[in-house]
Chains A and B, each alone.
Chain A
Amino acid sequence: MINLPSAAQLVFVLLIAVPFSAAARDDAWQPREDNAAWRAECSACHIAFPPALLPADDWLDIMSRLDKHYGVDASLETTLRQQIGAFLERNAAANRSLTSRDDVPRITSADWFVRKHQGAIRLWRKGKLKSLADCAACHKGPDIERMTGN
């Protein structure tokens, strides 16, 4: 006879396991084409954020001031910058609703991000997560591994 799950097990599944199952769909953000320069250069300091997480305008804005990149000099020589910029533009989000609401483009301030990351935002406010841009702190698996350049 099959054991029916206890109420406690059901509560565990609903409260703990279900919210983290979102990670299973991380591959939805993978770009259609690969680009070695994007992966190598961006992942030198943070994961190479998938181009589909920002619209083209935001990527162009970011790539036009890499020498002042969120408080850090991330300048690149021209050819490489143009090559990565073109890749980001080709694979950017088509949907304007992904535009961030900050004065500088920020994936973490877009409505969809805030809606889906309430738990992470709580941890970040408590100082238990240093940066919301540290996707790999919670998201594990081969798709994230690829974006970390490892």
Chain B
Amino acid sequence: MRYLLIVAAVLFAAGARAEVPRDFLSRFEKEAGVAASAERGARFFSTRQGGEWSCASCHTEKPTQAGRHAKTEKAITPLAPAANAERFTDAAKVDKWFRRNCNDTLNRLCSAQEKADVMAWLLSLK
């Protein structure tokens, strides 16, 4: 019984651990099985992929600055971790927004490689 409680506590602590932006780069690279490319990420970010919007439509081509929602005009805080310490620190949030925004821009989910590339580029911004 005591053993089970310890295991539960360790699992809980691991789950509650806050992520840092680099964790997501490693996670997506591992899922993709290839190294990320910041250059590819930059291109992907600012190019429309068949949909009406690119990532840059809301986050701007320079995501160290604030953006604006393309539809509602609501202000969006900077996406690049260098400019906004809150970004990419919560896995549930990261997964939720990749799911929604990839659907809106690509009409499908993003591949692990696409996400790794974007992470690599965002982390390269100063």
Contacts and interface: CB of A to CB of B under 8 A. Distances in A.
Interface stretch (A16-24, A68-76, A94-102): A68-76
Contact of B72 (A45, A73, A76, A77): A45
B104 A134 contact: no
Nearest to B93: A44
B99 A75 contact: yes
B72 A134 contact: yes
29 contacts: A45-B69, A45-B71, A45-B74, A46-B69, A46-B72, A46-B74, A47-B74, A67-B103, A70-B71, A71-B71, A72-B71, A72-B100, A72-B104, A73-B99, A73-B100, A73-B101, A73-B103, A74-B100, A75-B99, A76-B96, A77-B96, A130-B73, A131-B73, A133-B72, A134-B72, A134-B73, A134-B74, A137-B73, A148-B74
Interface of A: 45-47, 67, 70-77, 130-131, 133-134, 137, 148
A142 to B, nearest CB: 18
B16 to A, nearest CB: 18
Interface residues of B, number: 11
Contacts of B104: 72-73
Q: Lowest 9 A-B CB distances belong to which pairs?
A: A73-B103, A46-B72, A73-B100, A130-B73, A134-B73, A73-B104, A45-B72, A46-B74, A72-B104
Interface string B71-104: 1111000000000000000000000100111011
